[in-house]
Chains A and B, each alone.
Chain A
Amino acid sequence: MYRLSQSLTDAFSRRFSRTVREDYRQDEAYASTPQGRFWLAVAIVGLLLLPLLLPQYPMFVATQILVAALAGLGLHLLVGGAGQISLGQAAFVGIGAYTSSHLSGDLAPLGILAGGLVAALIGVVLGIPSLRIKGAYLAIATLAFQFLADYIFKRWTDFTGGVAGRKLPAEGTMLGLSLADDRVIFYLGLFFAIPMFFYAKRLLSTRAGRAWFAVRDNDLSAQLSGVDLVRSKLTAFALSAFYGGIAGGILMHLIGAVTPENFVLSFSIQYLAIVIVGGAGTVLGAVLGAFFIVLIPEVLSVIAGAFGPQYVAQLSAWRSVAFGVLILLFLILEPRGLVGLWGRIRDYFRTWPLPY
């Protein structure tokens, strides 16, 4: 018995010693421990291999998650980072989608980038009211922007195709690859998403992130610590819109068309839900939140389908109720979101089987 406990404790100290950081440089890195680096590599390789393992429809859902995660991450920089509430993220996704729909085929990546940039530019304009108004009032201002954007999407037919929207050529190709293939779109999405996730993580842990958190926590004190309020708020709005715009471009290619109903208020609220359910404050939260928000309806409809086709219509109403209840439960039971839950699970297993 003594032997056993001794070997357990030894194994334990070895495990911990691997997580010791020896200088500040290591502490600042993306993944500061060998284990962290290992899992990060596994995650990236897994993402790259995913399209080879899954059939079309799951890839469609996976790409949806990717889009939601990217748009959610953008909003997360703004809401969780700089503390500015926005109800207009779907509008930026829309701006990105419409802009990139004008550049398809071989130019698709360029079109997506252009969508992001146009969205960022308009994001700066939306950021200007935030210099004077805060909290709920700002949320109303962004809500007004959301409705305005929706109106323009429907009326500016030359650019947006009006209510009918714009449709991409069905046999569009990029560098010889079919853009109708969801796997290609997934890779196209990853091409943008992976660098953008690293960039966001970096920003949040360096100067820009500190300035945003400072503005969020206490803007008076931020000023007296030398933070440029105007610059911080506007960069947060611009980046948030940029991420939304890129997500919009990818979404447009995924659907193969662009119509106004993909960018209405309920989607803005959905993106906000991703931030809240995921847990404000970390990049991982946006990913987990997107998984949750996109997958739960899918899972619920699979469950509904399992009861038999005659129940599907009846249960689809209950699906929304179940979805709402799940989000509510989340907010009550785990206010720090999925990230907090994950942290607790990790801490449990880190010290398992000797919790003290």
Chain B
Amino acid sequence: MARVLLEAQDLHLSFRGVKALVGVRFSVSEGDLFAVIGPNGAGKTSLLNVLSGLYRPQQGRVVFLGEDLAGQSPQARVRKGLGRTFQNLELFRGMTVLDNVKLGAELAVGGYTDLAPKAVQEWKIRRHAEEVLDYLHLSPYRHAPAGALPYGLQKRVEVARALAGRPKLLLLDEPMAGLSLEEKQDLARFLLDARREWGVTLVLVEHDLKAVLELSTGVLVMSYGEVLYQGAPAGVRENPRVAEAYLGRSA
């Protein structure tokens, strides 16, 4: 059994009366492709926001690499290797694709004091960024402003930026939403390659059940902030509670 990378222990989060997370607990091991699924409003994105430090849970702990992350800022968590992409594109639209990826690459290559630019370090960052661009077939667009690219490519740029930082674990919020079938297949291939080549563990929130069941090694099903099912993807369809949440009671 590979070592446990990320552990959520009894997470509770509520906004006034709305309970977004109710006692969510799960763990992700190194090398996993862990999928979080559930109907709209199930608390999936809230869960990712708690993990990456944008929301503070009222109760419970997030343990990453054996360390409690409570009180650590989002950027501190990113520097520790907990990457994140967003559901609605949060690219730097005015920056070129290359600059977007370079910004991510700084995390992996290591920066320098920003007011004293170092050419050697900058070239290293560039080489690293180009490698990632090449990998995700983005090289032809490197000097284009990210905001000017078509949607599918923007999604890919966001994944490239996150992967360039070589996170140990990458939280992906609906990376495939709104993509065409080919784009989905491409992206899935890129993610699987990244996992194999760079040893990135992936946690992804996804609506496309078929993609999830084919790709993932572990699944967490949520509904109204509660965990309905956790385990192998094969068991999802058989689980009566999942069927109820997705298809309705009469089914």
Contact = CB atoms under 8 A, between A and B. Distances in A.
A295 B90 CA distance: 41
B106 A226 contact: yes
B199 interface: no
A214 B102 CA distance: 11
A28 B92 CA distance: 20
A154 interface: no
Interface string A207-234: 1101101101110111111111101100
A232 B75 CA distance: 13
B122 A213 contact: no
Interface residues of B, number: 35
B75 A213 contact: no
Contacts of B92: 213-214, 217-218, 221-222
Contacts of A28: 119, 122-123, 126
Contact of A218 (B93, B117, B123): B93
A218 B115 contact: no
Contact of A213 (B99, B112, B125): B99
A207 B74 CA distance: 19
A25 interface: yes
A214 B95 contact: yes
Nearest to B102: A210
Contacts of A229: 75
Contacts of B201: none
Contact of A223 (B74, B91, B93, B107): B74
A224 B123 contact: no
A206 B122 contact: yes
Contacts of B103: 210-211, 214, 225, 227
Interface in A6-57: 24-25, 27-28
Contacts of A235: 114-115
Interface residues of A, number: 31
Interface in B44-93: 52, 54, 73-75, 78-79, 84, 86, 90-93
Contact of A208 (B84, B86, B115): B115
Contacts of B91: 217-218, 221
B120 to A, nearest CB: 10
A210 B99 contact: yes
Given A203-B117, A218-B92, A227 B126 contact: no
A217 B117 contact: no
Given A24-B123, A24-B127, A224 B115 contact: no
A225 B117 contact: no
Contact of B114 (A207, A221, A225): A207
A102 interface: no
Nearest to A220: B90
Nearest to A281: B94
B123 A25 contact: yes
B83 to A, nearest CB: 8
Given A24-B126, A223-B74, A213 B165 contact: no
Given A207-B111, A226-B106, A202 B117 contact: yes
Contacts of B115: 203, 208, 235, 239
Nearest to B73: A223
Contacts of B12: none
Given A207-B112, A224-B78, A227-B75, A24 B117 contact: no
Given A221-B86, A223-B75, A231-B114, 16 more contacts: A25-B123, A27-B126, A28-B126, A207-B106, A207-B112, A207-B114, A207-B125, A208-B117, A214-B92, A217-B93, A220-B54, A224-B54, A224-B78, A225-B103, A226-B107, A229-B75
Interface of A: 24-25, 27-28, 202-203, 206-208, 210-211, 213-214, 216-218, 220-229, 231-232, 235, 239, 281
Q: Which 8 A-B pairs have the closest CB atoms?
A: A221-B90, A208-B114, A217-B92, A206-B117, A226-B78, A24-B126, A207-B114, A210-B103
